[in-house]
Amino acid sequence: MTSSIRRIGVLTGGGDCPGLNAVIRAVTKSAIHRHKIEVFGVEDGFLGLIQNRMRPLAWADVSNILTLGGTILGTSNQANPEHYAVQRGDKTEFINVTDRVVEHVRANHLDALVCIGGDGTMTGAANLIRNGINCIGVPKTIDNDLEGCDQTFGFDTAVTTAAECLDKIHTTAMSHHRVMVVEVMGRNAGWLALHAGIASGSDIILIPEIPYDLGSICQTLAFRSRTGKRFSIICVSEGARPKDGQVVVQRRVETSPDPIRLGGIANKLAADIEAASGLEARATILGHVQRGGTPSPADRVLASAFGHHAMELLVAGASGKLVVLKDGRIGEIDIQSVAGKQRKVPPDHPLIQVARAVGTSFGD
């Protein structure tokens, strides 16, 4: 079936990451150049749909943005049409404004939406699909945790950034003979810590999927100290937790669809290591530096390919699909099948076996 699409909207939802602009560029230029389709950019993700803030995107608007980090459209991770926060007096209430979004989409004569984001954005897109709006999803997250997709764009750049930071910390750890605990992002999935940890030669990698034992960590550190290694590097995911323990929550944002903000496990772990082992430990939290900067060439290529495939799906008449990279090929799956799900690291993943084979500990 061939579609009769004449105008589409494109939005970026959730946290920012390198490569968003590359997708916007690919979608817009493919639409204009190959298919003569108008493109409207929705500002600040679903918030722009709720508040009816969108603007036409011309060829010139998306030129020279391929290498630019962030998103020219802006984004928001606190705008869920099904659970939208409104202030009434001194109270915050949550209402469903999906009907308002549908009205704005139709008033702007948008035949479909390209929604670029992670699991939260795809959950929002699934809601719109149920309400008659055609959405095509493009997978974005530095956490690489979107179900059904082997790799999302933004992940490669984040791994590169984290590994470079770990490399720099490696030299100061050697100089001062310290245990350096470096916290990376990832929420409930350990892909970023696993890849950055292996790439940097971290001595211990701690991920959410494998709860750690402090005693085991201290034994590893003591063994290294006895065998002439006067420093150690620990790469820890923000969602890592001790056995029979809890994750460290930095704060809660009650107006967000995902209110829990993780962060601070590195500080806790460094203090625990010093108390238990007597070794000097320092913590570094990389934070939002992992989201920023110029996308890597690999992410630019992947994002461009994703954007192109999204347009090909639309003009072929597809509805409710998510573009994915699976087994080395770009394809698509139903958005509904990934809504509300997260892809985590299997405990028997080949990369874990690789790390263990070269003596890396996972604290278990």
DSSP code per residue over 65-113: -TT--S-TT---SS--TTSEEEEETTEEEEE--HHHHHHHHHHTT--EE
| Cβ pair 285, 266 in contact under 8 A | yes
**Can 213 be counted among the known catalytic residues?**
no
pLDDT in tens, 60-104: 999 999 999 999 999 988 789 998 988 888 888 889 999 999 999
Distance CA 313, CA 328 (A): 19
Structure tokens at 109: 């004569």
Tokens of 307: 């954007």
Topology of domain 155-292 in CATH is Rossmann fold (3.40.50)
Side chain identity at 105, as an amino acid letter?
A: V
Q: Report pLDDT for 260.
A: 76
Which of 44, 111, 119, 143 is the catalytic position? 143
Question: Do 28 and 63 contact (CB within 8 A), yes or no?
Answer: no
- What is d(CA 285, CA 184) in angstroms, rounded to the nearest whole number? 7
Interatomic CA distance for residues 289 and 169, integer angstroms = 15
Q: Exposed, middle or buried by CB within 10 Å (0-12, 13-18, 19+), for 347?
A: exposed
Q: Given this model, what pLDDT does residue 255 score?
A: 66
pLDDT at site 79: 87
Give the model's pLDDT for residue 262. Answer: 84
What is the structure's pLDDT at 256? 66
- The tokens for 188 are 């409930």
Alpha carbon of residue 324 to chain centroid = 14
Specify the pLDDT at position 92: 84
pLDDT number for residue 1: 44
How many whole angstroms separate alpha carbon 140 and alpha carbon 13? Answer: 9
DSSP helix/strand/coil, 195 = helix
Residue ranges covered by each domain of the chain: 7-153+295-337, 155-292
Q: What pLDDT tens digit does each residue of the chain (364 aa) get?
A: 456 899 999 999 988 999 999 999 999 999 999 999 999 999 999 999 999 999 999 999 999 999 999 999 999 887 899 989 888 888 888 899 999 999 999 999 999 999 999 988 999 999 999 999 999 999 999 999 999 999 999 999 999 999 999 999 999 888 888 899 999 999 899 999 999 999 999 999 999 999 999 999 999 999 998 888 889 999 999 999 999 889 888 777 766 666 777 889 999 999 999 999 999 999 999 999 999 999 999 999 999 999 999 999 999 999 999 999 999 999 999 999 988 889 999 999 999 999 999 999 999 9
Would you identify the CATH topology of the domain 7-153+295-337?
Rossmann fold (3.40.50)
Give the relative orientation of helices 265-277 and 214-226 as an angle to the nearest 10 degrees.
60
Residues 229, 227: Cα–Cα separation, whole Å:
6
Instruction: Judge if 7-153+295-337 and 155-292 fold alike in CATH terms.
Output: yes
DSSP code, position 52: T
Number of C-beta neighbours around residue 348 at 10 A = 7
* pLDDT score of 192: 98
